[in-house]
Amino acid sequence: MRISDVLRGKGSNVATVDPALSVSGLVAELARHNVGAMVVVANGEVVGIVSERDVVRQLHERGADLLDARVSDIMTSSVYTCLPTDSVDSLAATMTERRIRHMPVVVDGSLVGIVNIGDVVKSRIGELQTEREQLQSYIAQG
């Protein structure tokens, strides 16, 4: 299965934020979109990713003053991305090795979707159920 198959099922909407947005604004956007991470975009280009974990860790270190800081102060700027043509299995391996939960899908520098670890697990479960059904059908015919 390919990442494009996952996006076809879940859609290609991606919640994004500007790097100049305050962390307080970021928290509001995370809640509004009901997501755990947002892609940071400037001038149409992916420049980072920021998650609830980033906020919590920085809040612990910096205290309530963090809410006035900018997203650019806490985002991860070294973003791993994937292509729609990548396999779900290769993405799962990368996410596991790199310990990342969200990966933007980019084509020619443009953000076209995002895949999270839950999407990968859901995809794998679907594949296993299909295999199981095929095996049961094969056995029943025998």
- Rg over CA atoms, the chain: 18
Give the pLDDT confidence score for residue 15 in this predicted structure: 93
**Angle, in degrees to the nearest 10, between helices 52-62 and 23-33:** 150
Give the pLDDT confidence score for residue 142 in this predicted structure: 66
- Residue 99 φ/ψ region, left for φ over 0, alpha for ψ in the -120 to 50 degree band, beta for the rest: left
What's the angle, vertex CA 82, arms to CA 69 and CA 18, rounded to 5? Answer: 25
Q: How many domains does the chain contain in total?
A: 1
Strands (E), 1-142: 16-17, 37-42, 45-51, 102-107, 110-116
CA distance 79 to 75: 10
Give the pLDDT confidence score for residue 121 in this predicted structure: 87
| CATH number, domain with residue 46 | 3.10.580.10
pLDDT tens-place values along the chain, 142 residues long: 899 999 998 888 899 999 999 999 999 999 999 999 999 999 989 999 999 999 999 999 999 899 999 999 999 999 999 999 999 999 999 999 999 999 999 999 899 999 999 898 888 887 788 788 888 888 888 6
CA distance 12 to 114: 7
Q: Which domain holds residue 69?
A: 3-141
Exposure string of 49-83, with b = 16+ CB inside 10 Å and e = fewer, is bbbeebbeebbeeeeeebeeeebbebbeeebebbe
